[in-house]
Structure 1
Amino acid sequence: MQPVLFYGVPEGCSFGSIVALEWLGVPYRLCRIRMPEQVSGEVFRAINPVGETPALLTSAGQLLAESMAILNHLGVLGIDKGLAYPQGSRGFDRLNAMLAFLNTSFFNAFSPLWHALEHGAEGIEKDVLTRYGREKVAKAHADLEAMLRGREWLLGDERTLADAYFIGIARWAEVHDAIDRRQFPGLDRLFRRLQEDPAVRFAQAIEHGERAQGGGGFAGHVGLDDALRLVGHEA
């Protein structure tokens, strides 16, 4: 069966998994999950009890949650394309280290800003969360800029699944007006390069509900009720 990626809108970190699937070129379908109302509902919790996207229904019919786990699962399909590396290799370790940083420090830096936005913080609370969030985002970008070390891509001369995950999170800087990315020239170049990537443009169109022409194996959307039946649940 074709895998199904459950992706969150608007601005979900699952964006990176859509880009990864496009780069891999494998057949897949998508299931659109609205945030916060649908993702936190009982129906979607049959897919992921935590109530978060992304989640993946694999080609073997198994459910998998968490971006890092999903990207590692998909990575097996991208070894020949240089998007991932065999387990036990130096490349595999470096890719996992970068994914771990993106999944923890880089992602988490935006948490205060998301909290302020999603919970309608006002006054002093909003000011404190915004200041704290911007400081965390700036530090995470400075750390990642140092890790980049002038390379074209996060791990070297070729793109990997880490770059796909990066672009899905890095765009949050504009959502929250958190930083001026030009302070970090290496990351700014990487971000701009990825913005021109056809798979990134495809994922943007998908998120915005626009007509999207992919270059990978996108086989269309499936509704949540139909996806539930694929995994043996009823809505």
Structure 2
Amino acid sequence: MEPVLFYGVPQGCSFGSIVALEWLGKPYRLCRIEMLEQPWDALYAKINPLFKTPALLLEDGEPLTESQAILQHLAARDPEARLGFAQGSREFDRLNQMLAYLNTDFFAAFGPLWTLYDTQGMSGVEQALLRRLGHESVAESCAYLNELLAEREWLLGDARSVADAYFVGIARWAEYHRLFDVKQEYPNLARLLAKLRDDPAVRFAEAIERGEQPAGLGHFKGHVSLRELESRLAA
């Protein structure tokens, strides 16, 4: 029995967990959650009562929520995949630090822009304020990450980690919201983003979000519906 990742579309931050699963190379399934369809299926409350994605249904029926926890869990499943580090090591601390930054500051920087996207009936002044606040916050985060990447191939150094998987799912939002020319203003960040965009796992995750049926690297065992998982949730 494979673990099941519940991922949200469109433009969900769960994108990074799909990438990490492909990098990990272990069998898994996916369950698609259309975030714009309201209300969500009440059965999902057994996965996450907060009605958020991503969530990972483990083999024993226990759900795991929050991107940082899921990514660290996936990294620990196979140390040989080298997506994370041994707990207690300095490298593990650095990974936790980076994931925490991406999951709080970088993610939250886009908050005003998603509010603008989700809210109707705002005045022009309110819309302009939200866009300005979002632009300033995202620019500050991009500048920080761009400086870090000046002498690094990946976020933590010379090798990829689950932090890079999460990063690509968030960084793409700057292009989605058309805030600025990322390549021109933040060339180091753009370099990493371009390299990740060319990665087979990232291309797979993009196709999955579009509703296509890519094969991936052969570890993906297909989609499963929430109703098909009901017996596992009851257990």
* C-alpha displacement of 1:39: 7.0
Residues 38 and 214 of structure 1, relative CA distance in 2, 3 Å threshold? farther
* C-alpha displacement of 1:41: 4.4
Q: Which residue of 1 aligns with 2:178?
A: 177
Q: Aligned partner of 2:71: which letter?
A: L
Structure 1: unaligned runs, 5 residues or longer: none
Rounded Cα–Cα distance in structure 2 between residues aligned with 1:177 and 1:122: 21
Structure 1 consecutive aligned stretches of length 4 or more whose deviation exceeds 3 Å: 38-41
Q: Which residue of 2 aligns with 1:14?
A: 14
Q: Which residue of 2 aligns with 1:141?
A: 142
Q: Among the aligned pairs, what percent are the same residue?
A: 56
Give runs of aligned pairs for residues 1-235 of structure 1, distance below 5 A.
Answer: 1-37=1-37, 40-120=40-120, 121-182=122-183, 183-232=185-234
* C-alpha displacement of 1:36: 2.7
Q: Cα deviations across residues 175-213 of structure 1 (Å, max 9, x unaligned)? A: 211232121111100000000000000000000011312
Instruction: Provide the aligned length of Structure 1 versus Structure 2.
Output: 233
Rounded Cα–Cα distance in structure 1 between residues aligned with 2:126 and 2:147: 32
Residues 225 and 148 of structure 1, relative CA distance in 2, 3 Å threshold? same
* C-alpha displacement of 1:111: 0.6
Rounded Cα–Cα distance in structure 2 between residues aligned with 1:149 and 1:66: 29
**TM-score calculated relative to the size of structure 1:** 0.95
Residues 227 and 19 of structure 1, relative CA distance in 2, 3 Å threshold? same
Structure 1 SS opposite 2:113: helix
Rounded Cα–Cα distance in structure 2 between residues aligned with 1:150 and 1:205: 31
Structure 2 SS opposite 1:59: coil
* C-alpha displacement of 1:11: 0.7
Is the 2:75–2:82 Cα contact (8 Å) retained in structure 1?
Answer: no
* C-alpha displacement of 1:216: 4.4
Is the 1:21–1:216 Cα contact (8 Å) retained in structure 2?
Answer: no
* C-alpha displacement of 1:32: 0.2
**TM-score calculated relative to the size of structure 2:** 0.95
Q: Which moved more, 1:214-223 or 1:19-28?
A: 214-223
Rounded Cα–Cα distance in structure 2 between residues aligned with 1:170 and 1:188: 9
Rounded Cα–Cα distance in structure 2 between residues aligned with 1:126 and 1:226: 42
Rounded Cα–Cα distance in structure 2 between residues aligned with 1:48 and 1:191: 30
Rounded Cα–Cα distance in structure 1 between residues aligned with 2:98 and 2:149: 10
Q: Aligned partner of 1:232: which letter?
A: A
Is the 2:46–2:233 Cα contact (8 Å) retained in structure 1?
Answer: no
Structure 2 SS opposite 1:149: helix
Rounded Cα–Cα distance in structure 2 between residues aligned with 1:49 and 1:74: 22
Structure 2 SS opposite 1:80: helix
* C-alpha displacement of 1:230: 1.5
* C-alpha displacement of 1:40: 4.2
Q: Aligned partner of 2:118: which letter?
A: E
Is the 1:40–1:52 Cα contact (8 Å) retained in structure 2?
Answer: no
* C-alpha displacement of 1:149: 3.5
Is the 2:7–2:15 Cα contact (8 Å) retained in structure 1?
Answer: yes
Rounded Cα–Cα distance in structure 2 between residues aligned with 1:42 and 1:229: 15
